[in-house]
Amino acid sequence: MADQKSSLRLINKLDNDLVKKICAGEAIHRPLNVVKELIENSLDAGSTMITVTLKDGGLDQIQIQDNGCGINKEDLKIVCDRFTTSKLKSLDDFNSLSTFGFRGEALASIAVAAQVTIISKTADSICAYKAEYVDGHLKNSSAPIVPIAANDGTMIQVDNLFYNMPTRKAALSSENQEYNFVQDLIVRYSLIFSGKCGFIFKKYNENSHVVNTKSSATLFQNIDQIFGKKISSNLLSFDIENEKLEFKIHGYFTKQNISLKQFTFILAINSRLVECETLKKSIKDLYKEFLMTDGHPFVIIWIEINPKNIDVNIHPNKNEVCFLHDDEIISKIIEFIREKLENKLDNDMIKNTSSTNMDISFIRNQTNDKKPIDNENSAGTSKISTLKLKLSDAAKQTNSPSQTIDNYQKSSQTLPVDEKCEDVPVKEIETLPRPASKPKSSNPNRICRIDSTIQRIQSYLQQEVSELGPRRRRRIELTSLDKLMKDLSSTIDLNLVEMLNESIYVGCLDENFLLIQHELDLIMLNMPKLNRELFYQIYLMGFGNFDYFRFKQPLSIRTLLSTYFEVNAPDMDPDVSTATIETMVKTIVCKKEMLDDYFSIRINKDDATIESLPVMIAKYEPNYIYLPEFIHGLATNIDWNHEKECFGTLGQELAKFYSYAPSISNTNDAEFRVWSDLVETQIYPRYKKLLSPTNQLSDGAIYVIANVTELYKVFERC
C-alpha cells in the first residue's frame, strides 16, 4: 500500500508562463486569428481606416495600423496582460455588450506566441509612445515605454509568430495559403463595414493593394470592386423585422442566373463576423434547387439581436455565438430567400422595357442588315460578333408578320409585376386552348377529315382548368440529374447569356417572334426555339417540385392517341392502330407513379385518363392542340430503362410541348395582346435572367436585323 501511495502523482499548480502558452495556443491558431483579433480591436477603437500588411504569409510579420482613439501611455504597461480590458467590468455588461472584445485575452495570447511592438497615440497626447513585448512582458524594464513621432491611432506589429511553438508553426499551411486566409477575412470585414470603415490589405514591400476600400464606399461599390459588376448588379435584397422576438435582418444574395465557383457566405450578428453552419447549410441546400450543378451563390446577411438574447462567450475565437430563437430566425431567412428566388423576377427585371410604333414592314425591307448572332465563344471578349445573312433566308421563318408593335395601355385589372412573376399556380387558369390553324394538304378528303379532327380536339379540350394546389418543396439528389445538368452546362454560350442579360424588351412581332435591343442592335428572337431551351432548363431546376393544375374533366389517353394517328397517319389500318394505341396506353399507365411524383402528370389507371399537367411558368399554358403529340411522345420517345436517359428524354418532350406558340388568328387583336403581355411580363424576363442559352441556338433562333443608328437616320428624314 505504501508503494502504491508513493506512486500517485500529486496535483500541482501549473507555472504561469505555461498557462499563458496553453491559452495562447487555444486562441491563436494561425496568422488569420491574429489579424482578426487586431482588426476587431481597431474597430472597437472607432477606426475608419485599417491597413493590414503581411510578410511571408504573416509568419514573419503582421502589421495592423488604424486611425482609432489610440492607447494611453499608462495602459501600455498592462495592455498585454491577461484579462485586461476596457470593455467589460461586470457579468451584467454582457446584456448590453456592443464591442467585439471583452475577455482581455487577445493581445495577451498574441504577445506570448510572438514578439509584439505597439506604437499608439491618443488625440490629446503631444506624441505617440512605443512599447515592445516578449513572452507577454515588456521587453525593456528600465525604459519600457519611449516617446516617438506618429499619427493618431495605433500600429501593432507582430513578428516571428509561433517562434516558441515549433510544432504549431510546422502544422501551418503554406505562406500563400495563409495569405489567402487573411485576404478572405479582410474582404468580409470590408463588406460588413461598408460605409463605416475602409480597409487596405497588401504584402510587405509591395505598393499594390489586394484590397483597398474607402470608409465612404457603399456595399455595392465594394462588391463591384472586389467581386466585379456581375455580382453587384445581380443582387436581390430582403428585410425582416420581428418586434416580439427582438430581431432585425437585412441581407443580399445573388439571383439564380449568377453562379460562382465557391460559396461566399458572410454573416454578421450585431456587426460581429461569425459563422453559423446551420444557416449556411440551409442556404446552400436551397440554392441547389435553382443553380446548375457545381454552382454557388454570394450571400451577405446582417442580423441585429437584442444583446440580452445572445451569448458571445461560447468560442475561444468568438467565431460562433449562441442566440435565442435561432430556429425561427433561420427559417425566416430561408423563407424570404426562397420566395425571392421562386419569383425570379424582382422589380428591376422589367424596368428597362421599351416600346415603339415602328412599322414592321420597314424591318422586312432592310435586306442588307440581316445578320445572325455568332455563337462562337472568343477568348478575352464577350462581344457578339455577327455574320451577314439575307433577309429572304430568315423570312421563311417569319410567317410574314403583319402586326405593329404597340405600347398599349394595360387595363386596370392587370396584376402588378410582383404578382405576375410568381411561379405559383394561379387560382384559376383563365386562358383557354387556342384555335388551331388548318393543316395544309393537297388531298381535299384529308382536309375535311383533319378539319373535323381538329374541331373535335378543340371541343374536347375547351374546358376550364382549376388549381389542384402547390407541391411541398423538397430536395432531390440524383446522380442522373447532376449529369444532365453538367451536360447542359458544357454547352452554354456565355456570349448569348450576356447579350440576353443586357438586352431591352421592344415588342412581339407575332406569336413566334420577339424583338429586343442589345446595345445598338435590334435583334429578333425565335421564341419557340428559345422556349424549348428555357422550359428544359426550368424542368431540370424544378425537377420533382412542380405545382400542377388539373382538367376538370380528365382527358382520355386513348382518344388523344387516336386523334394523333388520325392527323399523322390517316391511312393506318384500324386494327393496327387500335392495337398500337392499347400498347401505348399500357406503357404510359404503368409509369403513372413516377409521372406524378417527379413531373406532376397525373394518370388515372382505371380509365386511362390524364388529369393534370405541371405548371412550368405561372399563368402560362401550353398549346393544347399539341397534347396528342405530347402523349404520343411519352409512349414512344422515352427511354424508360435507363434513369438519366429517361429523365433527359422526358424533359425534352415536356419542353417541346410547352414551347409551341399559341394559335392566334391574324384578326384577333385581343388574343395577341394577351399573348404579348405574357411574353413581356413572364417569358422575356426569364430569357433575360434565367435562361442560359446553348450553342445550339445558332440555327435560326437569334438574328440581328437592324442597327439603331441606321434606324435613326431613316426616321430622322421622315
- The sign of the torsion formed by the CA atoms of 26, 31, 32, 36 equals positive
Contact 557, 610 (CB under 8 A): yes
Cell of 67: 486611425
Bridge partners for 148 per DSSP: 128
Residues in the chain: 718
Helix axes 175-192, 31-44, angle to 10 degrees: 20
Q: Which of 25, 30, 31, 38 is nearest to 61 (CA)?
A: 31
Spans in the chain with pLDDT lower than 50: 94, 101-102, 313, 315-316, 345-453, 456, 462-464, 466
pTM of the model: 0.51
Bridge partners for 137 per DSSP: 134
CA–centroid distance for 677 within its chain: 27
Indicate the residue type of 285. D
DSSP SS3 for 130:
strand
Contact 536, 384 (CB under 8 A): no
Contact 67, 153 (CB under 8 A): yes
Contact 82, 20 (CB under 8 A): yes
**Domain boundaries along the sequence of the chain:** 16-215, 234-343, 356-405+479-545+660-718
CATH no. of 234-343:
3.30.230.10
Q: Which element (helix H / strand E) includes 516?
A: strand 513-518
What HEC string does 409-477 produce?
A: CCCCCCCCHHHHCCCCCCCEECCCCCCCCCCCCCCHHHHHHHHHHHHHHHHHHCCCEEEEECCCCCCCC
Indicate the residue type of 107. L
pLDDT at 321: 67
Q: Following CA atoms 323, 329, 333, 334 in sequence, which dihedral angle do they give, to the nearest 10 degrees?
A: 100
DSSP SS3 for 402:
coil
Specify the CATH architecture of the domain 16-215. 2-Layer Sandwich (3.30)
Residue 638 phi/psi, 5-degree rounding, is -100, 130
pLDDT tens-digit profile of 623-669? 888 999 999 999 999 998 899 999 999 999 999 999 998 888 776 78
pLDDT tens-digit profile of 195-219? 999 999 999 988 888 899 999 999 9
Angle CA 693–699–701, to nearest 5? 60
- Determine the Cα–Cα distance for residues 278 and 285; give it in Å rounded to an integer: 11
Q: Is 716 exposed, middle or buried (0-12, 13-18, 19+ CB in 10 A)?
A: exposed
DSSP SS3 for 117:
strand
- Determine the Cα–Cα distance for residues 21 and 23; give it in Å rounded to an integer: 5
Q: Which element (helix H / strand E) includes 452?
A: helix 444-461
**Backbone torsion region of residue 528, taken as left when φ is above 0, otherwise alpha when ψ lies between -120 and 50, otherwise beta:** alpha
pLDDT at 365: 36
pLDDT at 444: 37
DSSP SS3 for 346:
coil
Cell of 281: 447549410
pLDDT at 346: 42
Q: Which element (helix H / strand E) includes 303?
A: strand 298-305
| Pairing relationship of beta strands 198-203 and 49-55 according to DSSP bridges | parallel
**Residue 510 has what DSSP assignment?**
S
Contact 555, 627 (CB under 8 A): yes
Cell of 176: 500563400
Alpha helices in 251-301 (DSSP H): 277-287
Q: Under 8 Å CB-to-CB from 656, ≥6 apart: which residues?
A: 532, 630, 633
Give 415's Cβ-side CA count (13 Å radius): 15
Same fold, 16-215 and 234-343: no
Neighbouring CB atoms inside 10 A of 4's CB total 7
pLDDT at 538: 92
Look-up: residue for cell 434547387? 289
pLDDT at 373: 45
Cell of 157: 506589429
Alpha helices in 165-317 (DSSP H): 166-170, 175-192, 219-227, 229-232, 277-287
Cell of 52: 493590414
- The sign of the torsion formed by the CA atoms of 578, 579, 581, 586 equals positive
Contact 564, 456 (CB under 8 A): no
